[in-house]
Amino acid sequence: MARAFRPSGYAALLVLLLTATGLWAQEAPETKAPPPAVLIADDIQVTRDRVLIASGNVEAFQGTTRLTAGEIRYDQNTGALSITGPITIEDGNGTTILANQAELSRDLQNGLLTGARLVLNDQLQLAAVQMNRVGGRYTQLYKTAVTSCRICEDDPTPPLWQIRAKRVVHDREERQLYFDEAQFRIKGTPVFYLPRLRLPDPTLKRATGFLIPSVKSTSQLGTGIKVPYFIRLGDHRDLTLTPYLSGNTRTLEFRYRQAFTRGRIAFEGAITDDDLEPGNGRGYLFGIGQFALKRDFVLQFDIEVTSDDAYLKDYGFSDKDRLDSELRVSRTKRDEYIRLSYINFKSLRDGEDNDTLPTDVIDALYERRLFPRAIGGEFRLTAAAHTHFRHSSVDVDANGDGIVDGRDVFRVNVDAEWLRNLQWGGLQVQTTLGVSADAFRVNQDSTFDDSDSGIAPKAAVTLRYPLVHYGKNASNLIEPVVQFGWVGGDGLAVPNEESTRVEFDEGNLLSLSRFPAPDVRERGWAVAYGASWARYGADTWSANLTMGQVLREDAQADFTETSGLATTTSDFLLAGQLKFNGGLAVSGRTLFDENFDVSKAEVRGDWSNQRLDLGGSYIWISDDAAEDRLSPISEFTFDGAYRIDRFWTASLDWRYDLEEGRAATAGAGLSYSNECVTIAMSVNRRYTSSTSVEPSTSLGLTVSLRGFSADTGGTTHTRSCGKQAK
């Protein structure tokens, strides 16, 4: 019968056996006594020669460290420990030692283990004929095989990959592995030889060295290789350099990151000399940062710069066709929001001239909520200032080409609203009273006055009558709603520059102004009505549906046809979502008139289960010259992934332009991943072209060996041993 043993004369054995939290755990502070140790065995004896012998299912515990062995002998006279296997030592932090026999010193800092195997972070296995413990820091393994692949005892087949070395030294403090006469093998076949090799162990999160290389082939740049090199500059900053070499390009990519006490920054970019733009240096720089300032303010910046319009797409760095760089200071509280920002835009689109676009924008916003006890309800105050500049100094449309050339605009808007909610029985009433003040100044546009201002009082009453039915497996909610609204004042003689694209959806059905910016406001009387239905079911499915329309006293000239709001009677809005417990979800939104002519429509569907992830969407927007859209947009997208088995996954994405009758982009991928290797192959095709971008095809191949990083990412499956394994 197993016994727990705590003899006073030999308690030193227990302390020595697991001192400093074990062979491989971090040393405890000197001022902190080691936790109590416990030894459990079937039989424990003390001989006349002062030798303690514990045998039969021996287990020793101290803190998070656990040792199991067949027998432990401790000679108090010599201080020697002799351990007979099978031996297992676990430090509780992911490091495990397996051995057949061990001879260790009293303090466990030196010793010899035979038939030993070291397992790091449950990922990397180092099997050796002999293992030496030196100075408590170094572990030397002789005639070693290193792999992260599953090894089955009854399977003579060699692992997929392994590193054979004459000697391997594990530096516990630096968490590094040093190989002497290393030989890399695939399925037992030697591939290459290195006299010296250094790799981080899996417990080290950040170490200077090479990262996973990849092979990339494109129709424009040819076949090339990327070899990232990670440089640890300290505990809180690092630099990654990635040379990309092919027959047509010499590119150096980089990424710099640094963390501060109150913030962080990250920059990435590239410098290129290629055959696409011979003699012209190319490159880009993206950067983000965030810092906590005093009084709860936050400073943020976002930098996006590129050398030419095609560079980002030529190299696959980004699909953005308009870059925005921003510097922002803001503060967010429960009842207050403050923001001041500067934004610079740069267009990469063909036919757009950055000199005639409002590329420099300054925004200031202050929002405040108050809850006056005297009158009840909620009081909201908003003050905003905005200005945008064009680099051109030419008066608007001086060339008669319909392009706004040099117009600059400055505006100030102040809104004050009082909201009060009342309820009579099941009827819910929300009242709104407010006033808005607007002031504008327009420069370099002779078609408008230099300045204009006005006051816009407003009022609204919103009525709701929610009806709820609680069923056995589901609850249903039906809520009809109607709003009577009015906005006074005369429209200002200022240009509409910020509200040229209006979206009418369930989010602004009950808004007094549906323009996205206050440079234009809806005026006059309006009635918005609609109804929503929602089913919340725990059985099989849930759904929600919203329908609504806006009736207006006067038509608003600044609404476009495809906005659905151009006339006194708006289009019907219909939006909904359907979700099944089996993984299928469908959502959609559309605008249509009384003749069921659709101006906009979109639908998105997703289906997911244990092996399949599918997603697709369709969008339709009719042509509208007021929105610079001379032909309709009709586009279908599809993306999906299929897990063929535990290790293989295939993916596909496709975007098809129905109006043009051809694909816009297409891509496919195949990946294999298990406990010891990840292989990813991809092919992507871009069909679209312009004066700066050509159609291109790219191929990618990445092979990574698992076991030499702290976080391999994602979910992996380990291969099973035995004939019944799948």
The 3-class secondary structure across 205-239, one letter per residue, is CCCCEECCCEEEEECCCEEEEECCEEEECCCCEEE
Q: CA angle, corner 253, sides to 250 and 258, nearest 5?
A: 160
Structure tokens at 378: 């909620």
Output the pLDDT for position 7. Answer: 41
Q: Work out the average pLDDT over 220-228.
A: 91
Check residue 428 and give its pLDDT: 96
- Residue 31 confidence (pLDDT) above 80: no
- Over residues 295-315, the mean pLDDT reads 95
How is the chain split among helix, strand and coil, in percent rounded to 5?
5, 60, 40
CA 529/CA 546 separation, integer angstroms: 11
Distances, alpha carbon 208 to alpha carbons 40, 163, 229, 235, 260, in Å: 44, 20, 8, 12, 20
Instruction: State the pLDDT at residue 582.
Output: 83
The position carrying tokens 């991809």 is: 682
Q: What's the Rg (C-alpha) of the chain?
A: 35
pLDDT 10s digits, 639-683:
999 999 989 999 999 999 999 899 999 999 999 998 888 899 999
Residue 118: the pLDDT is 87
For residues 229 and 245, the answer to whether their CB atoms sit within 8 Å is: no
Q: Report pLDDT digits (tens) over 330-384.
A: 999 999 999 999 999 999 998 888 998 999 999 999 999 999 999 899 999 999 9
The predicted-structure confidence for 608-649, as pLDDT tens digits, reads as follows 998 999 999 999 999 999 888 889 999 999 999 999 998 999
Give pLDDT, residue 3: 45
**The pLDDT of residue 407 is above 80:** yes
Look up tokens 């039906």; give the residue: 478
Exposed, middle or buried by CB within 10 Å (0-12, 13-18, 19+), for 116? buried
Q: Which residue has the higher pLDDT, 396 or 441?
A: 441
Q: What is the pLDDT of residue 11?
A: 41
Quickly tell me which residue has 């790091």 as its tokens: 120
Using 50, 70 and 90 to split pLDDT, how confident is the model at 471? confident
> What band does 2 get if pLDDT is binned at 50, 70 and 90?
very low
> What is the rounded average pLDDT of the residues 422-435?
94
Instruction: Give the residue carrying structure tokens 């600059």.
Output: 408
| 480-508 confidence digits (pLDDT tens) | 999 999 999 988 889 988 999 999 999 99
Burial class (CB in 10 A: 0-12, 13-18, 19+), 205: exposed
Taking all residues of the chain, what is their mean pLDDT, rounded to a whole number?
A: 87
- pLDDT for the residue numbered 721: 60
Dist CA 104 CA 106 (whole Å)? 7
The distance of Cα 389 from the centroid of its chain, to the nearest Å, equals 34
Dist. CA 404–CA 483, nearest whole Å: 38
**pLDDT tens digits, one per residue of 409-428:** 999 999 999 999 999 989 99
Domains of the chain and any CATH numbers = 3-200 (2.60.450.10), 407-631 (no CATH)
pLDDT of 167 above 80: yes
Distance of CA 547 to the CA centre of its chain: 34
Task: Give the closest residue to 233 by CA, choosing from 212, 207, 210.
Answer: 207
* pLDDT score recorded for residue 399: 63
Residue 357's nearest CA partner among 296, 406, 319 is 406
Q: Residue 714: its pLDDT value, please? A: 53
629, 621 in Cβ contact below 8 A?
yes
Q: Distance between CA atoms of 331 and 464, rounded to whole angstroms? A: 34
| 662 Cβ neighbours under 8 A, 6+ residues apart | 656, 687
In 3D, which of 440, 619, 627, 630 has the Cα closest to residue 521?
440
Please report the pLDDT score of residue 385 as a whole number.
Answer: 97
Question: How far is the CA of 658 from the CAs of 56, 602, 635, in angstroms?
Answer: 75, 14, 5
Asked if residue 276 has pLDDT above 80, the reply is: yes
Residue % of the chain over a pLDDT of 70 = 90
Residue 4 has pLDDT above 60, yes or no: no
The H or E element containing residue 464 is strand 451-464
**Report for 132-136, 200-204, 234-238, 717-721: range of highest mean pLDDT:** 234-238
Question: Is the model's pLDDT at 535 over the cut of 50?
Answer: yes
pLDDT band at 717 (very low <50, low <70, confident <90, very high): low
Of the two residues 718 and 160, the one the predictor is more confident about is: 160
Partners of 249 in the beta sheet?
274
- This prediction has a pTM of 0.81
Give me the count of residues in the chain. Answer: 726
Separation between Cα atoms, residue 706 and residue 199, nearest integer Å: 12
What was the pLDDT predicted at 13?
A: 47
Taking the C-alpha atoms of residue 279 and residue 260, their distance in angstroms, rounded to an integer, is: 39
Rounded to whole angstroms, how far apart are CA atoms 569 and 559? 12
- Tell me the two tokens of residue 421: 């909610």
Q: What is the tens place of the pLDDT at every residue in 682-695?
A: 999 988 776 667 78
pLDDT(238) > 90? yes
